[in-house]
């Protein structure tokens, strides 16, 4: 049996989001967003003492459901500063055949994440 302290996943997310504007005055707009994303696992990198390396996966990992709070500040007519922060409430994970414990032959890694996004939105006119 081998120990692993760290596992890295490379994932492609396919999100579907819906939002509601809760505040909109002057140059500031705030929204609440609910997001459902479908996650495709490309590869995993395991960090055990022996057998360290990157392993190709290429399968659907599961679904994630997140809630976000978004704030946009208009810098001018075409440019907005955008900040989003949120929390993932639900994350489905498929069981990985390379991961096991003393009690179960195959396990999946449950996780939570806090997406924080900062960016600029430019509107072409």
Q: What is the pLDDT of residues 52-78, one digit of tens each?
A: 677 788 888 889 899 999 999 999 989
Domain boundaries in the chain?
4-122
Q: What is the pLDDT of residue 95?
A: 74
Q: Alpha-carbon distance 83 to 69, whole Å?
A: 8
Q: What is the pLDDT of residue 4?
A: 63
Neighbours of 107 (CB within 10 A): 15
Q: What is the pLDDT of residue 101?
A: 66
More confident residue, 102 or 122: 122
Q: Alpha-carbon distance 17 to 112, whole Å?
A: 18
**20 — pLDDT class (breaks 50, 70, 90):** very high
Bridge partners for 53 per DSSP: 46
From start to end of the chain, where are the E strands? 4-25, 28-48, 53-74, 79-91, 116-122
More confident residue, 85 or 93: 85
Q: What is the pLDDT of residues 88-107, one digit of tens each?
A: 888 887 777 666 666 777 76
Joined together, the tokens standing for residue 112 give 């939570």
Q: What is the pLDDT of residue 2?
A: 59
Supply the pTM of this predicted model: 0.70
Joined together, the tokens standing for residue 87 give 């929390």
Q: What is the pLDDT of residue 29?
A: 95
């Amino acid at each position: 049996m081998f120990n692993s302290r760290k596992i890295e996943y490379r994932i492609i997310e396919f999100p579907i989001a819906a939002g509601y504007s809760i505040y909109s005055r002057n140059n500031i707009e705030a929204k609440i967003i609910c997001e459902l994303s479908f996650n495709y696992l490309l590869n995993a990198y395991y960090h055990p003492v022996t057998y360290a390396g990157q392993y190709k996966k290429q399968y659907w990992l599961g679904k994630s459901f997140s809630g976000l709070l978004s704030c946009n500040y208009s810098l001018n007519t075409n440019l907005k500063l955008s900040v989003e922060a949120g929390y993932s409430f639900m994350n489905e994970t498929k069981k990985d055949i390379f991961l096991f414990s003393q009690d179960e032959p195959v396990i999946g890694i449950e996780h939570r994440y806090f997406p924080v996004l900062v960016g600029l939105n430019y509107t072409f006119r």
